[in-house]
Amino acid sequence: METLITIDGVPHAFETKDGRTELKVQSESTPSEDKKPPNVKVPNVWLITRKNGFPLFAVRPKQGEKPFRIITADKLYSEKIQWFEPLADNYREQIWLHPDSSKPGSEAYSAYKHFSWKQIIDFAIVDRWSISFTKGLPGDWKANSEGGAGFLMVVVENALYWTDGVGQIPFAVDTFRIYFEELRSKPAAISKTVRTGMEYGDGNPFAPENDATSEYDNYMVLRGALWASENFQLVIKKELLQTPNTARMVEKASTVYQPGSMPYLQQPISASSLAQYGEWKK
């Protein structure tokens, strides 16, 4: 199978055979007395494949890195490389996505689970116990059959993500609601949500390992918290609390979902949001 990929305006052919993908280099005829080998132009790209060698997408390496690689998505994930949060660590620009990635039934399409942002939101706005976000429990979107279902990568409205990155959003939305009801301040609730995400960075509620890195998972927690701050309203009601000897009015706060804007979910974290809420940088 041959895949033609245009990189920096130049078309390159990649051949996939027997579980391996290789760059096809066009040979040149030279006189027999010409002892100098021809220059082979190799593109400045990392091509990411399925385990069977099928090309999925490509990212551009940073200056000083190995300029050309063909590696599996699993290998890229193990190196913590990401392409969807430019201000986070290990960012590499995505420069190609297989054109069949949104074509149902294709090899490229089947590499991912596909979602709309509405589907992510529908999962995220369900009120859950915080413990349910523990690995393997119903709130664990990455593993839940309604969520990532064990896929390494997901496509959300034609944008590609690591599944565990999107999985931070339901946790962030639920956690923001708790702190918004407690603190009654959106900025304070956002900051505390981010700190909580850092504190339970490995998803273990009993012996958590703090994650104060500038990696994509903290950025995705911030995405979810920012979105929640624009889509949930605080409702405060007064209730009569009676005891055997007294009666007094108390305030009870709750959050109500009111659909609003989408950009905080769809777009990477901005420099201004990072400066205000990037707790891992403070």
Tens-place pLDDT, residues 101-153: 999 999 999 999 999 999 999 999 999 999 999 888 999 999 999 999 999 99
Please provide the distance, in angstroms rounded to a whole number, between the alpha carbons at the two ends of the chain: 50
Residue 237, pLDDT above cutoff 90 = no
Half-sphere exposure of 164 (CA within 13 A, CB side): 16
* CB 53 within 8 Å of CB 21: yes
Segment 94-104 mean pLDDT:
96
Mean pLDDT of the chain, nearest integer: 91
In the chain, which residue ranges form alpha helices assigned H by DSSP? Answer: 73-78, 117-124, 163-166, 168-183, 186-199, 216-231, 263-266, 271-277
What is the pLDDT, as a whole number, of residue 99? 96
Pick from 255, 266, 222: nearest CA to 121: 266
CB contact at 8 A, 209 and 257: no
pTM of this structure: 0.89
pLDDT value at 40 more than 70: no
Report the range of poorest mean pLDDT among 118-132, 216-230, 243-257. 243-257
pLDDT at 251 over 90: no
Name the range with the highest mean pLDDT among 22-36, 62-76, 124-138, 191-205.
62-76
Domain limits, the chain = 1-25+41-100, 112-230+262-275
Structure tokens at 134: 């523990």
Please report, rounded to a whole number, the percentage of residues in the chain having pLDDT higher than 70.
91
Joined together, the tokens standing for residue 131 give 């413990």
78 three-class SS: helix
